[in-house]
Amino acid sequence: MTTTHHPTPALEVRGLARSFGENRVLDGVDLTVRRGSVHALLGSNGAGKTTLVRILATLLQPDAGTALVEGFDVVERPVAVRRTISLTGQFAAVDEILTGRENLELVARLRRERDARGVATAMLERFDLVDAADRAASTYSGGMRRRLDIAMSLIGDPAVLFLDEPTTGLDPQARQEVWRTVQQLAADGTTVLLTTQYLEEAERLADRISILHGGRIIVEGSLADLRALLPPAQVEYIERQPSLEDVFLAVVGGRTALTSQESR
């Protein structure tokens, strides 16, 4: 992927809606993600982040609205979308019986890479898994498993990578590992849509942040934009920047408890 700006956004979502029975999970989502950016989709548990990602990854049909991935409509051209994207789901979908190398080779073959073994070796090096390459994935730590999972997702150079809550359930050290990985991806120019309920994660990794609440994107912008949304303090006794958490709670009405990780 190149990092040059391109007129077609990586993701363009308009009026996307999806219900499960009576529950209107997505209620007219609009979202644009620039190519080569890391875009965080922030929302509490059950806000519909996973539903949105699943629609974008062609795993779920929307009830209404359109979603374009690299210009391909997810409903009308799902195969083209699948050739463009990669999804790392909420739970690391690695094959525990296979070794790390075999997992990577499996994906390389499914993506029709000519040199599956070479691709796997390169990924093992890039993700610091060389020593564990020939061990069954079931013996991996949470962080290693996630790294393997992300490495599998990157085979075939997908233009767009969906990371659905990549650090949920990981210990702080493993979380740091994954963050470093995502920062590296951003530097390489891959478009990343990252869902998270951790505000710190969004602050740390994302160029742009969208807050999904009540089935819609209620705020979208850079961290600075989001900070600027808060009214310039009434009377502040302590000089401090509003954290993203302050912004989040202010825009969603303050009643949603988000899991904020220990502040840095």
> Where do contacts with other proteins occur on this chain (CB under 8 A)?
54, 57-61, 76-80, 82-83, 85-87, 89, 91-93, 95-98, 102, 106-107, 109-112
**How distant, in Å, are the alpha carbons of 32, 90, 113, 245, 250 from that of 264?**
30, 24, 41, 13, 21
Q: Give min distance, CB of 109 to other proteins, in A.
A: 4
Q: Give min distance, CB of 83 to other proteins, in A.
A: 5
Say how far apart CA 209 and CA 248 lie, in whole Å. Answer: 11
Between 112 and 264, name the residue whose CB sits nearer to other proteins: 112
Q: Give min distance, CB of 45 to other proteins, in A.
A: 19
Query: Quick one: which H or E segment has residue 31?
Result: strand 23-33
Between 150 and 202, name the residue whose CB sits nearer to other proteins: 150
Between 59 and 133, name the residue whose CB sits nearer to other proteins: 59
The closest alpha carbon to 251, from 207, 199, 193, belongs to 199
Q: Give min distance, CB of 9 to other proteins, in A.
A: 19
108 within 8 A of 116, measured Cβ to Cβ: yes
- Residue linked to tokens 């019986």: 97
Between 109 and 227, name the residue whose CB sits nearer to other proteins: 109
Q: Give min distance, CB of 242 to other proteins, in A.
A: 37
Q: φ and ψ at 44, to 5 degrees? A: -75, 175
Between 36 and 89, name the residue whose CB sits nearer to other proteins: 89
Between 29 and 249, name the residue whose CB sits nearer to other proteins: 29
Between 92 and 209, name the residue whose CB sits nearer to other proteins: 92
Q: Give min distance, CB of 152 to other proteins, in A.
A: 8
Between 5 and 112, name the residue whose CB sits nearer to other proteins: 112
Say how far apart CA 129 and CA 242 lie, in whole Å. Answer: 39
| Tokens standing for residue 216 | 């819609």
72 within 8 A of 114, measured Cβ to Cβ: no
86 within 8 A of 153, measured Cβ to Cβ: yes
Burial of 112 (0-12, 13-18, 19+ CB in 10 A): exposed
Say how far apart CA 182 and CA 206 lie, in whole Å. Answer: 10
Nearby residues of 225 by Cβ (< 8 Å), 6 or more positions away: none
Say how far apart CA 211 and CA 249 lie, in whole Å. Answer: 11
Q: Give min distance, CB of 135 to other proteins, in A.
A: 13
Q: Give min distance, CB of 106 to other proteins, in A.
A: 6
